[in-house]
Structure 1
């Protein structure tokens, strides 16, 4: 059972027992709860913290947990219906109405219900995260001189240099800004490069979180199709001419969701086309460290081969570490760097210095290269287990491309299939997947689903998840086939 499920179950059981104690009464010790419920001390600690957050218990270090006193009655709810008018009127004059829709992101961020296998996750399973190394890095970082002081606005110089070296020898620390993860960096980049109402070119399909950023900023995402070699240059040039866009957002390495890698032939073409259009390329290099063990040499980031400042590069450590290790970087050249810096300072001031110090401790430790090697091997094993299982048990789900990096597979459903129906059937069968609709900024050419092989505990869980998915496909796709072959009027 996953740790999060154990915490929820223990909190529920303790919640039902709190009333047995009088206000101020002491609950059983943590050791007693560990022995009674056969869970880990961490689970007990987190369950008690949940009850404390709800105001049911009070924890006192060294003394234990106690039932809280009587709670203050809830204040009567007011009438908030007026907000519908205010929020609707807010964007009435916008050229492109702003829409704040996080549904496509929440699917990848929200933990599924207990017992449901997570093929929808956007982050590696805790067993793939360097938890011990991160804990040790945080401990060492907290003792560094000045670790709790105010950091430089652009980020610690040593960390900026580390990110610059990872991009290429043409990038220096002076070109880099430290950000609070990749999502924050993308938000800053789009705000800096495109005014509200402007078109922004995006790959199709593409990352739903980026589409959400664009729409929340009042931008108009315009799709440019990709294939196994990345974005199609001729269509990119056509889109620039047709829209007058000044920004193209792409993921040249292990693209989300297709897993495509921009080919060596297309890389200079993309830069040339953007430069001729007077446009920026936002390069979201989000999974460079999630390369699989059998991958060949990786292409350099586009930013490494860009002397003219066309590329605004976004990098992040989050995917290779933990969802909560939110450290990333923006890299750019020329006047745009000052605009990026100004927007980031206004939005966030700076990234937590202890977290930056911990990042330096982590990536400078012997544990870091060991973790990356282990992660690379594990991802390959899980990818192979999922692809083999799909071919054997679910051949009707088309897998056009097997990536050599990243954490997911992109599957095309049979003609006439309903991905929403499959998603619902899968949840009933006990497996969570990601419907493909959210990855398209316009009408999708077919129904798709994305399956993550990194968010599960291992290959045994992949096998069980595919067994459950077979049941869901029999229900959802079988029903669609019946409807498709039923004569009209019956």
Structure 2
């Protein structure tokens, strides 16, 4: 009788089990996949163990993926895929220096997990969108020929006409307002900026940008190989003299700006500032890229685009419907005149050929529905309530001087913390505590001029603003 035949769980059985496991583990590590392992009878004889002890040792290695059993055939070294270590080193030389990296994508696009308060996102909550209109429009568009036919290269005529009409509001003084022929439809504002930068400048050229400014514009400019020249701004437009100096020193032919409720600061140019900036642009013979991202988010002020008063093509106008209608309606437009328009259209055609006709048709449906104007009126009131509540919490918990201004429109508050605060570290700790915000460092094309953070008041519910701001305040030194 074998020494462990009376009890496989006793000390001698345990010793035999380990010995068998070591034996099989060694074979599995050194023998090729598929090679047959010693039979149960052989292991029983070699280790003076019971068949049950052998079976337990084999099963342990099966669970680890080292051994596989085949009924009626025995046990074998498991067929495991070999470890392949790819050599990507050659790509370092082939690719060269990157124009943009992963760090170029701002924290505003981070995904908020369950239970996390989102003060970082640039997209309004669903209750602030014309959801019913959008859903109905998509259903109707799916029933039309736009669902199966290629859209015109420039865009659907009805949508081109609508964008042109938006640039001829009451009070605009342009002798010759833009027409549908001056409009190109794009798949959102980001694509519009990318095309403009590629079409109107060459790699190595300079582009002047306000600082701070939209991180996506900086990323698109650098992706196009442009050199960003920052010009300071705060609650006001850049000084005309500073703009003139920056254009002259850099040789830039492009000036990117957000005159209305700028992202991230919320600043709005005055009529005097508009005139002064346009005078510099015209005198220098350069383009002003006007990003009217917040056109539909006015609260205490109406938007009259600079492009409405530009007859000679100095202003290249960008407007997107994505934030206003739905993140799924990736539709925007560029309005430009002269050869610049032709170059932008050529770039868009090469890049995307055309924009989805069904999305364009849905956009037209929403924008021409009587409910659209009613929605904008309700939206203005909702944004005012949210902005005021967020401002109240920031001033109450972060200090009366934390806000340089309460914006007259837009979706964000630009908040200043005490000097010397590491905002990226604060953002990481705040996220761990359940609150996401956008650190100010993301919005500067050069070194940050202070410790800032951007808080979006259009995403989270206003009743949790107090909790969210309290969390951030508790993490500050």
Asked if Structure 1 and Structure 2 have the same fold, meaning a TM-score greater than 0.5 normalized by the shorter chain, the answer is: yes
Matched, 1:303 2:307: yes
3-state SS of 1:201 partner: strand
The correspondence of residues 368-383 of structure 1 with structure 2, limited to 5 A, is 368-383=372-387
Matched with 1:262 is 269
Mapped contact 1:204–1:224 kept (Cα < 8 A): yes
Task: Supply the RMSD in Å over aligned alpha carbons.
Answer: 1.8
Which shows bigger deviation, 338-347 or 443-452?
Answer: 443-452
Q: What is the CA distance between 1:377 and its match in structure 2? A: 1.1
Equivalence for 2:22: none
Shift of 1:376: 1.2
Work out which of the residue numbers 463, 475, 481 in structure 1 matches 2:466.
463
The corresponding residue for 1:19 is none
- Could you tell me which residue of structure 1 aligns to residue 199 of structure 2? 192
Structure with larger Rg: 2
Work out whether 1:279 is the aligned partner of 2:251.
no
- Once the two structures are superposed, what CA deviation does each residue of 1:79-134 show, in whole Å capped at 9, x if it has no partner? 14235424543x5xxxxxx5213435341122222211001011001222222211
Q: Distance in 2 between the 1:80 and 1:390 partners?
A: 51
Whether 2:426 is the aligned partner of 1:422: answer yes
1:316 is aligned to 320
Inter-partner Cα distance in structure 1 for 2:102 and 2:279: 34
CA shift at 1:222, angstroms? 0.5
1:95-174 map, 5 Å: 98-168=98-168, 170-174=177-181
Do the aligned partners of 1:303 and 1:311 also contact (CA within 8 Å) in 2?
yes
Task: Confirm whether residue 333 of structure 1 aligns to residue 337 of structure 2.
Answer: yes
> Alpha-carbon deviations, 1:191-240, whole Å to 9, x = none?
11110011100001000001011111111100111132222211100101
Instruction: Give distance in 1, aligned partners of 2:85 and 2:348.
Output: 36
Hey, what's the Cα distance between the residues in 2 that align with 1:351 and 1:326? 9
Distance 1:231 1:139 in 2: 45
Aligned length: 391
| d(CA) in 2 for partners of 1:279, 1:75 | 60
Structure 1 pair 317–102 and aligned structure 2 pair: CA distance change class (3 A): farther
Partner in structure 2 of residue 386 of structure 1: 390
Corresponding residue number in structure 2 for 1:228: 235
Tell me: CA distance 1:167–1:102, structure 2 relative to 1, closer, same or farther (3 Å): farther
The structure-2 alpha-carbon separation of the partners of 1:396 and 1:267, relative to structure 1 and needing over 3 Å to count, comes to: closer
In structure 2, what is the Cα distance between the partners aligned to 1:74 and 1:202? 52
* Range with bigger deviation, 196-205 or 76-85: 76-85
Please list the CA deviations of residues 275-305 of structure 1 after superposition, one character each: whole Å capped at 9, or x if unmatched: 222211100000110112xx13x24111111
Matched, 1:450 2:450: no
CA-to-partner distance for each residue in 1:43-101, whole Å, 9 max, x for gaps? xxxxxxxxxxxxxxxxxxxxxxxxxxxxxx98965514235424543x5xxxxxx5213
Any idea what the Cα deviations from partners look like across 1:324-367, whole Å, max 9, x if unmatched? 21110000011111101100000000000001111111111122
Q: C-alpha distance in 2, partners of 1:251/1:148? A: 37
Is the 8 Å Cα contact of residues 119 and 438 (structure 2) preserved in structure 1?
yes
Q: What's the TM-score, normalizing by structure 2?
A: 0.79
Encode CA deviations 1:300-329: one digit per residue, 9 max, x unaligned: 111111111101100111111222211100
Structure 1: segments with no counterpart, 5+ residues = 1-72, 92-97, 478-490
- CA contact under 8 A between 1:426 and 1:468: conserved in structure 2? yes
Asked whether the 8 Å contact 2:154–2:345 carries over to 1, the reply is yes
Q: TM-score with structure 1 length normalisation?
A: 0.77
